[in-house]
Structures are given as C-alpha cells and as structure tokens.
Structure 1
Amino acid sequence: MKATIYHRPKSEDAYAYDKSTMHIRLRTGKNHVRKVNLIYGDPYDWTKNQWVTSKKEMTPTGSDAQHDFWFVEVTPPYRRLRYGFEIITKTETIYYGESGFLDTPSKDTSDYFCFPFMNPADLFSPPEWVKDTVWYQIFPERFANGDPSRNPEGTLPWGSAAPTPTNHFGGDLQGIIDHLDYLQELGINGIYLTPIFEASSNHKYDTIDYLKVDPHFGDKTTFKRLVDECHKRGIRIMLDAVFNHAGFYFPPFQDVLKNQQHSKYSDWFHLRDFPVRAEEPPNYDTFAFTPFMPKFNTENEEVREYLLNVATYWIKEFDIDGWRLDVANEVDHAFWREFRKRVKALKPDLYILGEVWHNSLPWLAGDQFDAVMNYPLTNAIIDFAGKQKIGQQRFEHVITQLTHMYPIHVQQVAFNLLGSHDTPRILTQTDNDVARVKLQFLLLFSQRGTPCIYYGDEIGMTGGQDPGCRKCMVWEEEEQNQELLSFVKRLIQLRKQEKAFGTEGDLTFVENDSSLLIYQKTYENQQLLFVINSTDQPDSVQLPVSWTNRNANDLLTGETFSLATEIVIPAKSAMVLK
C-alpha cells in the first residue's frame, strides 16, 4: 500500500494558488485509503518546545484505474509551511512526510514536507480575461477574400478546388474584418490567427520577414484596422510566432547559402558542416526534416535579440493580446524565460500560449508560458464521443489524470480544442456524424480552460489531414449546417451565463451502472448535472438521490420537467440539468 502513495513538494502537488492560498494534493492506491488529513504548521511556530500544528481533512477529487487523488486548500498565516499526511485505512493509520512513513506523528519538523515561502514573484499569474474567452482559430488564406487586388498570381475562385500545399484562394485580413459581425454573433471574443508575416507558402510557417505583413494578406494599416475593430467589439487578437525556425528565403539563411562559413549569419542556425546543402536530408537542423525551415540557434545573442524585438514590436505597434508559440518545446527554456520578461513588461496581461502536445509542466511554472494547446484533452474527447475507441470509465480516468497533471490555475487557462490546421476536421474524424460532433463540443465547452473553435467546424465543414483540413470557409448559409451552428452558439451562451458550466466549475464524476457519462459541475451554490450517452443505443440511469423528485431545466433544450428517479437518454445525445 505504501508503494502507491506519492507526493512531490513545490510541484503540481503543492503550489501557491494565489498570494495567500496553498493547494496540496496526494495520490494513493485505488481503494486503499479511507481518509486523509493534512497536518501542517509554520516551521517557526513553537509553544513550550512543541511545534504548533493544525489538522484539516482532505477531499477525494477523483480516481483513475490505479489511484485515488486527494486535495486540500490551506491559508498559511505567514506564507510558509511544513506539512505531512495522516493516512487512514481500514486497518491502520500511518504518517507520511519528507523522511518517509512513520507509525506516529513526528515532533521533528524536518520529517515534514517543506514549502519555504510563498514569494509573489514565483506565483503563476495568467491573464484573468482568458478564463472567459472563447477562441476562434483562423487560417487567413482560407477564411474570406476581402481584397481581390491582393490575390497572388494563379489565385483560384473561392472554394473551387480541393486545398493543396501550394494553391491559393485569396483569403486575407480584409476578409476577416468583413466577417467580424458573424464572429461576434457566434459569441467569439478571441481570434487566433495562424502566421500573417511575409512567407512564400500559403500557410506562412516559413517566414521571410517577421516585421512585415504578407502582401497577400494586406499591410500594416489593414492589420491595425483589424485589431482596432476587434478591440471595439471586445475581441482579443493572438498572433502566431514561428521562432523555432525561419523560412528558406529568410535573408540571413540565404546569406548562409551564398557565403557558407564566411556568412556573418553562420551561427544563426544549427549547421553541421559545410557546404550547407538545401536538400533532403539537410545537413542542418530544421523543423522535422524540412530543408525549407532551418532551425534558429536561439542561444546566439543576435538571434535572441532579433526574435525578442519581433515579439515586442507587434505589441508596441499594434497592441496584440497574445502570442501562440509554434513548436515551442524545441526552443530552449532560457529563451522563453527572457521572452516572457520582455513581453509582460510591455503588456502584463498578454497571453502566452505554447504549442506543446505532451505533458508541459516544465513550461508552466510561471516563468515561461501561460498555457499550452491541450491536445491530450482533444484526443480523449474524440476517442470517447467521436470514435468510441474508449468507454465512459476510461474517459473518466483520462480526464481525472489530466485534472491532476497541472495546478488548477494552469488548467483554468488551458487552450482546449477539437481541431486545428494540424489535424483532420472534427466532423471527418467522426464519420460525418453531426450528433457525435455535438457531444464533443459539449464536452469541450464544459471543461476547465479556454475553448477554441477551428474556423468552419461550427458549420460542419469536412476535411482530412493537412492540407484537407484547410478548405475555404463556406459562407453560403444553405450549405452550412445551421442546426450545428445554433447548438454551438447555445454552448457559448451557456458558458458565459452559467458560472458552473465553464472554467470556474469544479467537475465531479458520478458513479453509475450504465454506459452513460455523468458528471456534476459546481460553482458556489450552483450545481449542473451533465448526462451524456455516447453510445448508439438509448440507455437509462438512476439519478443521484439529491437530484430526484425535483424540478429541473435542461439547459440544452430549455425544457422544464420534474425529475424521476430514473431517466432515459436517447442514443448520441445529452442533457444538462439545472
């Protein structure tokens, strides 16, 4: 039993939530422990040679296949803490601290875990506005053509062909401005733009000039107008920073190809030997193995200053609200620490979002990113409600693991998504089953974090892996799925109207003997009950006793009715009861 017990101080298991509050977690073996108490006190608080301690019961916060998780919130009077755990099973009581396991509570503070001091400078402080933001990701070349005079040579009529890695349809910044009414009506208050800087491709991840808007998209005047129009509507703007690598035609790299080891930029990149050969496989580090995207050497001082100047320029000149950092996990941590200092000095509430697809705690300690793209949540939702690869119990276990992977305030600003320019369309992944797409959107919007819609997913657009997921936005209403659009609008409304629905609500799974997924979300005195049937058959379930024989409102339909002890949920549908 002892081998299953785990706690790590100054981590996701013990952290300052704000200037006065500490969160502490413990992991134990599944069903091994009946009760856990936290024993804690100030390390310098002694009376008559006795250390003064308090005891507080911990709350169970979920289970996965192997573990139970426990949580407690405490307020250290002097912002420092020594603490340990009193662990009670059916047969024994043991005490766990930094020195290991003891049969009786130690009187020596060195046997306890230590949180030395809650320094405000160490506090993870993400922008508050992000918690209430619903994002919309736009791939500018495919959203709308607002200024045909900027069309590149060979531009195709809008939506007239399947997307390829090289074709163009003329999407631009003016097209986005022209459709801000649509986004505002949808309920969007944050726009994430994939790169807008000058580049040779249609995706613009191969930058030529980081200080210039790509002429196919517009110019700086157009971009300034876009930001201003968005801010008038309460919509934030986040740009894509491609700082891991440059494009093939980036002038310093072209200088390297021309002058080789004599180039003054030869240390700007990771070159293995000379002559530098732009062929596959390249003899220099790149994004993946793409010779057209040479990787920056961010340990070079000139490179660092160049990129940091780019990061601050777009804030100072255009008042952008966020940076999404491409391939962020391949750039050194020292660079990101300096990046955060520079941009936060200009705009303290700027949102810093890293593209990291795996456990990202090393970047989320308050000194680098505010959040990462939450692809583990994406995969869990799709596998459960979309592809039926996992059942209700496995989904609960995965969500519980994700819930305990990061501190709560990290989760509250996590960037949650179902699809992006890097993944197949959610409707295509779900075999064109709109009912399943609805369930996935419901799961997305009811989790902690800030949700993002990939342009067109709300109207049922389809498409496979890149470039298939980058079709032209469909603007003809008769070709849009209006039922799905209305459903997504309703979810956005609920997230804004019901505090328990979104990031502020604490989620607790409800055990049941059916195949249904049931969870309760709580915020202060408000409670919502989510009942989701992701199977192809109707199913019935016994409601928790606290919910039976009460009048309830289904927030998805507006229907009000009296709850029976047992309710039936049709196949591929859900209820959200208030």
Structure 2
Amino acid sequence: MNQFAILHMSDSKYCYAVNKDEIVIRLRTSKEDELDVFLLYGPKYEFQSKRYKAKMKVKYEDKLYRYYEKRIKLSDLRLAYIFEIYENGERFYFCEDGIVVDYDFENAFYNFYQMPYINENDRIKVVEWMQGAVFYQIFVDRFNMGNLKKDKSYIDMKWGDKPTPKNFAGGDIRGIIDKLDYLENLGITAIYLTPIFLSISNHKYDIIDYKKIDPMFGDIEDLKELVHKAHEKNIHIVLDAVFNHCSMNLYQFQDVIEKGKKSKYYDWFIIDGDFPEPEKGNYECFASCNYMPKLNTANLQVQEFLLDIAVYWIRECDIDGWRLDVSDEVSHDFWRQFRKAVKKEKENCVIIGENWHDAYAYLMGDQYDSIMNYAFTKACLDYLAKDKLDAKGMANKLNEILMRNNSLINSMMLNLIDSHDTFRFFTEVKCNKKKQLCALALSVFFPGAVCVYYGTEICMEGGYDPDSRRCFDWNEENWDKEFLEKFKALLKLKKFEEIRFGTVKIYEKNCLLIVERIYKNNKIRLEINMENKVINGIEPFNYRVLRKGDYNEEKSSCYNAS
C-alpha cells in the first residue's frame, strides 16, 4: 500500500456538509492499490461504543489517484470517524495518526477524524439557478447596436471589420435588449456582460466612474430595462466587477497625482515614492499597464468604496451576480467582506471569480461561489485541439479538476471553452465543426453551468485579443443553420435533471471518452470519439448522447452529431 498517496482532511473538500444533516466523506488512495475501504463512523461522544460501518465506493479516478466517497445522513450533527482498509485480506486503519495495524477505540477521541458540528452559517449554500445554467458572454461593443440615435462620433470601424485594440464598433445595452428573443430561443438562461461602466477603452476594464454606465453603452435606465425584460424570460444578468484596479483617470488617483502623499487617497494605491509617476511606473498596477493602477484592497476606505458599488447595482437594477476580474490578486479579507455584503443584499446573487488556476482557497464557502473554469478550457484544448490527451488522459484530467473542489462548488462552476481573453475555440480546432460540437457537448455534460462566448453558435473565428473580439455577424445568410440547430439541441440537454443535479462518472472505454450523469435512477451518457476511425457506430471526431430510464440500454434514445 502506498501510504504516501493516502489523504484525508476533515472539514474540507474531503469532508463537507451537503445538507443540514448530511455529509460527504472522501478518501484518496494510490491508483495502483487494489483496496476495500470502509467508513467507521458514529456520534462524536459515543464513538467508543456506538459505531456504524459503510463500504466506500470509488467515484473518481485521475492519473495518480482513486477517490473513494460515501454520503451519510446524521442524527447527531457531531460526527467522529476513521477508515478501515483491506489489502489482500489484511486489515488496516487510517486515522489522524496515519495508517495503523491496530486501533485503540477506547482512546479514539485523541486521533479520530471529526466533523465537530454542522453549523448552519458555515454550510456552503448553492445558488440554485446556477445548476444547469446556460451563460452567454457578451463583449458589449461588438454584439449589437440598438440605439441608432446616440452620438456615434466615437465609432471608428465598420461593423464586421477586424478590430484593433482601440477600435469602437458601437454595440450597446439597447442592442442586447433587442436580441433577448434571439437569446431565449438559443436556450440561454444567463447573460454575462463585460464591463459597462465609464471608461475610455472599448473593453472598459479601466473604469473611471463605477456608478455611471458608459454613454457609449447607454444609461442606468437601459440596464434596468435589460434586467427587467431578461427576468421576464427567466434570464439572469451578471456584471463584471473590476475591483483589482481602476483607470488612472479615476478621481481618487488623479487627486494623488496632484497632491502626492498629502492626498487623502494616497493609501488607496500602492506607491513607491511621494507621488505616482506613470512614466516611471512606481506604483502597483494591472500587469504592466501603468494606466490601470492597482487598488489597495487592504485599505478600509477602499473596501467601503468597492462594497458600496457592489451593493448599489444590485439594489438599483436587481442584477443577479458579479464576475470578479483578476480576482486572485485581491485580498481574501476583502472577498470575505464582499460576500457578506452581496449575499445580505440578495442571497441568490452569484459570485464568480476570474481565477485561471486551482482556486480552492477561495471556494470554501466564505468568498466565491464559482470561478471561470479555465482548467476545463485547457483540458478541452489539449483533448480536442492539440492532441495532447487521449480519451483516457482526458478522463483522468477531468476527474482531477473535479477533485479540486467539493460537489456543491462543482455544481456552480462556470465551464467555458473560450472567452474574450482567449483564442476562439473554433479557430483552435481549425474550424472543425464536429470538434466544436464535441467541446460544447462536453461543457454541457460537465457539472456546473456552461458559458458560451457570443458568436459560438454561428462559428465565429478569432485569434488572440483583439481578434477574439470581432463583431457579431447578424446576416443570417452567412450562418450554418444545421450547426445552429445542433447547437440549440445540445443546450436543451442542460435542462435535464440528470445533468443539472445528477452524480457524475467520467471514464474511458474502447478509446471513447464517456461522461455519465445519474439522477433518481435515470441516466444520460455522452460518448465522444476523437479517434480517426469509427468506434461503436460513432464517426471520427463525433459524439453520441444516450438517455435511458432504469439503465435499460434497449430503450435508449440516441442523438448523433453527424
């Protein structure tokens, strides 16, 4: 037995409450070890004399490990437990002291694992509408122009021309309102907008005034109308919060440029010297962009300033969530306060961090609900575009990603294959529409919400920023209608209870990548063939969906991409 591989942590993603009286317990072991694992558990103060035994099953496997799991319902919310492990008929125990041959149950209170108590205010609360949500990300300037009477003097490109970093095309909030019927018909249930507040750029990630919508896009009444009409269609609206940095034209930063250390806002920023000097770059900023100074979120006044903004837009316009830009560079302390303020104002308002890496430290119930799941994006690229993973390697990778967090967080993850910050996935797969559909199918089946970047449904191409931010082509004569129908059919699958709420099993069989979702004795299965040959009736670079009740293969209904 590889004892170095065995891992368990109490009160973590390896032991967490899913309800007020139910918990999930996981144990990690080496994939090379063939073990039988049992959970020995009982009330914390009666563990010596009152114990139960339950067999744990392997629920996930990645490249190196197996993950055993057991869900148990408690009558006493104070739980003690250890693991009983059999290898080749020999019994071992696993507790806080590690692997032992004999276990002293009389003195178990020294070294058993425990869930001391399930406190209601510590439990992770799921934003229910996120489970099975279908997001549509819109780069506002490039989606659609609806207000034809506005001042267009800022527009410096023809709609459809390839953009440069500083071009303006004229898209606005009114343009989104005008296309709500279109989005509803696609199957969209949530819209994520890139920033809409006052800024000199087309992307608006350098904000001058956080309480003013940029006139290029409209005004507060336009946003209110968008939210109201979207809600009538059961579509949620999520805005982009740029709280790591601001524009150098923000009033407070300009005051510091003028007054230096004498400015009451000097400590709002992180400056090396008496004055910020943009040409020298003697202050912290986003990346190396001196025009976007970093806000000091350890400063109490900065915290109050930003928290007021977060609550303001919920209160004024009834928005449904915030996507947090560059969120991993902002202090944990601030995000904890942010969560309390946002959830107090609107409990089902979702908080989605832009963390490109493992974000477990932020996803323990006290900060974000979710992140943009770029680990999933990278896996899709490696499997479908780069040929770096085969079906087995992809199954391992997807399971490893799932094991970064608990199942409640996984059910709210924002799974995407591209965004305004990446190459278009369609370009990455060399415009292979079958591979594009396979990627979409996988993002639909993977636990959490699916996020579609605007134009995916019409096979928009694009390289790196700014090429990934092209204008939407509204000339339907240029659309592949057959692809569009398959796109909509896949998004409809996200409504199935098996996919919204079901357990997940991901594995490889006969060179196929298989993702199964099971709920209330019903199963739906995705099979993807990325081999250059027909496998089990599935054409190369294609997928098949099987749905069945009571696991009856003969009654399966079949959907094929070809």
TM-score, length-scaled by structure 1: 0.92
- Matching residue of 1:560: none
- Matching residue of 2:428: 429
Deviates further, 486-495 or 165-174: 486-495
Q: How far apart are 1:104 and its partner, in Å?
A: 2.5
- Quick check: 2:351–2:368 contact (8 Å CA) kept in 1? yes
- Quick check: 1:134–1:187 contact (8 Å CA) kept in 2? yes
Which of residues 521, 528, 536 is equivalent to 1:525?
521
Cα deviation, 1:435-460, whole Å, max 9, x if unaligned, reads 11010001000110011100001110
- Quick check: 1:447–1:503 contact (8 Å CA) kept in 2? no
- Matching residue of 1:56: 54
- Residue aligned with 2:290, SS: coil
Is 1:69 aligned to 2:73, yes or no? no
Cα deviation, 1:257-295, whole Å, max 9, x if unaligned, reads 12222222111101111332112x611001111101100
Q: In 2, Cα distance between the equivalents of 1:349 and 1:523?
A: 24
- Matching residue of 2:506: 509
Instruction: Give structure 1 stretches of 5+ with no counterpart.
Output: 558-572
- Matching residue of 2:386: 387
Paired residue type of 1:8: M
Deviates further, 129-138 or 104-113: 104-113
Higher relative contact order (CA closer than 8 Å, sequence separation 6+): 2
Paired residue type of 2:218: G
- Quick check: 1:277–1:283 contact (8 Å CA) kept in 2? yes
- Residue aligned with 1:105, SS: coil
RMSD of the alignment, in Å?
1.9
Q: In 2, Cα distance between the equivalents of 1:23 and 1:523?
A: 17
Q: How far apart are 1:164 and its partner, in Å?
A: 1.1
Q: How far apart are 1:91 and its partner, in Å?
A: 4.5
Is 1:491 aligned to 2:493, yes or no? no
Q: How far apart are 1:483 and its partner, in Å?
A: 2.1
- Matching residue of 1:201: 201
Paired residue type of 1:92: E
Cα deviation, 1:487-542, whole Å, max 9, x if unaligned, reads 1110111221x222x23222223553x32212332111111232211123223489
Q: How far apart are 1:158 and its partner, in Å?
A: 4.3
Q: How far apart are 1:416 and its partner, in Å?
A: 0.7
CA separation of 1:464/1:97 partners in 2, compared to 1, >3 Å: closer, same or farther? same
- Matching residue of 2:556: 552
- Matching residue of 1:12: 13
CA separation of 1:541/1:40 partners in 2, compared to 1, >3 Å: closer, same or farther? farther
- Quick check: 2:78–2:117 contact (8 Å CA) kept in 1? yes
Paired residue type of 2:503: D
Deviates further, 531-540 or 238-247: 531-540
Q: In 1, Cα distance between the equivalents of 2:28 and 2:151?
A: 57
- Residue aligned with 2:223, SS: helix
- Matching residue of 2:541: none
- Matching residue of 1:569: none
- Quick check: 1:505–1:523 contact (8 Å CA) kept in 2? yes
Cα deviation, 1:116-153, whole Å, max 9, x if unaligned, reads 11100100102111113211001110010111333553
Flag as ranges the 4+ runs of structure 1 deviating above 4 A: 541-544, 546-549
Deviates further, 151-160 or 345-354: 151-160
- Matching residue of 1:537: 533
- Matching residue of 1:169: 169
CA separation of 1:272/1:549 partners in 2, compared to 1, >3 Å: closer, same or farther? closer
- Matching residue of 1:239: 239
TM-score, length-scaled by structure 2: 0.94
Cα deviation, 1:52-92, whole Å, max 9, x if unaligned, reads 11111101112222211100011221111111100111152
- Residue aligned with 2:169, SS: coil
Q: How far apart are 1:405 and its partner, in Å?
A: 1.4
Q: In 1, Cα distance between the equivalents of 2:158 and 2:553?
A: 55
Q: In 1, Cα distance between the equivalents of 2:160 and 2:325?
A: 30
CA separation of 1:63/1:541 partners in 2, compared to 1, >3 Å: closer, same or farther? farther
- Quick check: 1:213–1:220 contact (8 Å CA) kept in 2? yes
- Residue aligned with 2:293, SS: coil
- Matching residue of 1:304: 303
Paired residue type of 1:104: D
Q: In 2, Cα distance between the equivalents of 1:421 and 1:511?
A: 32
Q: In 2, Cα distance between the equivalents of 1:117 and 1:520?
A: 33
- Quick check: 1:386–1:440 contact (8 Å CA) kept in 2? no
Q: How far apart are 1:239 and its partner, in Å?
A: 0.5
Paired residue type of 1:352: I
Fraction of identical pairs, as percent: 38
- Matching residue of 2:415: 416
- Quick check: 2:6–2:30 contact (8 Å CA) kept in 1? yes
- Residue aligned with 1:443, SS: helix
Correspondence list, 1:137-536, <5 A: 137-156=137-156, 158-279=158-279, 282-496=281-495, 498-500=496-498, 502-512=499-509, 514-536=510-532
Paired residue type of 1:446: F
Paired residue type of 1:526: N
